[in-house]
Amino acid sequence: MRRVVYDADTIARRVGELGQEVTEAYAGGELLLLGLLKGSFIFIADLARAIGRPLQVDFMVASSYGNATASSGNVRLLYDPATDLAGKHVVVVEDIIDTGRTLQRLLTLLASRRPASLAVCALLDKKMAPPIPEVRFTGFECPNAFLVGYGLDHAERYRHLPFIAELAQESDG
Ligand code: PRP
């Protein structure tokens, strides 16, 4: 029913490397990690601890999937970050890029708030969408499968799994 795609050790190694990449990319200035909930909640917790420089953390809530296994393309903003983005180096932390619609819509909005810079750190990228220039840090180019675990859900289940697995379509395992 489920096949492990990235085990916990593999994820930990890659997230450690991403933390180093982010650390090296921002020599100075204020760094804000902006996590897209809910899917990024585990990733951002690990990533933040792998970054060796001062930073702040805030969140946004956007929802596009509902309970379906295909993206609807409708993005709803349910929570806006309280932090002032102006002058900060903002890194949007996303669990997975599928159609890229969620990010495209949010990046337009965030850019209008005049951050010093705007980048995306995505753990998984299906590479289905046209390239988004802001996506500067990527964990894995992942298969075009329905993935769950390490924050990713199906109908709010499986987020707590410490690994990332493919969910069979005919059964929720
Ligand atoms: C998922 C995922 C991404 C987005 C990717 O979020 O976490 O944010 O969809 O899809 P896209 O590239 O096609 O826009 P979802 O709306 O399921 O909310 P969640 O993070 O609360 O699980």
Judge whether 46 counts as a catalytic residue: no
Q: pTM of this prediction?
A: 0.91
Instruction: Give 33's strand partners.
Output: 57, 91
**Ligand 1, pocket residues at CB < 6 Å:** 36-39, 63-65, 71, 94-102, 153
Give the sign of the dihedral formed by CA 146, CA 154, CA 82, CA 108: positive
CA 134 to chain centre: 13
The answer to whether residue 145 scores a pLDDT higher than 70 is: yes
Residue 171 pLDDT: 47
pLDDT level of residue 7 (50, 70, 90 thresholds): very high
Residue nearest to atom 22 of ligand 1 (CA): 39
d(CA 172, CA 154): 8
Atom of ligand 1 nearest to the CA of 151: 22
Cα–Cα distance measured from residue 72 to residue 43, given in angstroms and rounded to the nearest whole number: 24
Cβ count within 10 A of residue 8: 14
